[in-house]
């Protein structure tokens, strides 16, 4: 499940919103009151992210969770995944 294409798209989106908010993994972790390793594991597929943690992530990064989920759900997710990362 962690390597399902939609979950990969979600992880990529989480990185993009964090970086877009100008947050390092450490800064994100501090605001989530978690360890930096938690953020790293979520972003690399080593840990699942439940819906409440997803919402907290979006709140910290000031991202719209609905927009992220629409992107992940879309048929364009596979094409989007193939684009290079900017982090």
**Tens digit of each residue's pLDDT, the chain (87 residues):** 556 788 888 999 999 999 999 999 999 999 999 999 999 999 999 999 999 999 999 999 999 999 999 888 875 656 666 667 665
Helices (H), the chain: 5-20, 25-32, 36-44, 51-61, 65-73, 77-81
pTM for this model (two decimals):
0.82
- Greatest Cα-to-Cα distance within the chain, rounded to the nearest angstrom: 34
> Is the four-CA dihedral 20, 23, 26, 30 of positive or negative sign?
negative
Residue 82 has what pLDDT? 67
Residue 75 has what pLDDT? 52
């Amino acid at each position: 499940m962690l390597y399902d294409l939609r979950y990969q798209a979600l992880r990529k989106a989480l990185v993009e919103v964090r970086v877009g908010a100008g947050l390092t993994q450490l800064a994100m972790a501090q605001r989530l009151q978690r360890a930096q390793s938690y953020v790293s594991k979520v972003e690399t597929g080593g840990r699942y992210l439940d819906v409440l943690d997803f919402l907290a992530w979006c709140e910290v990064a000031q991202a719209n969770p609905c927009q992220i989920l629409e992107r992940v759900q879309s048929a364009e997710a596979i094409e989007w995944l193939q684009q290079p990362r900017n982090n």
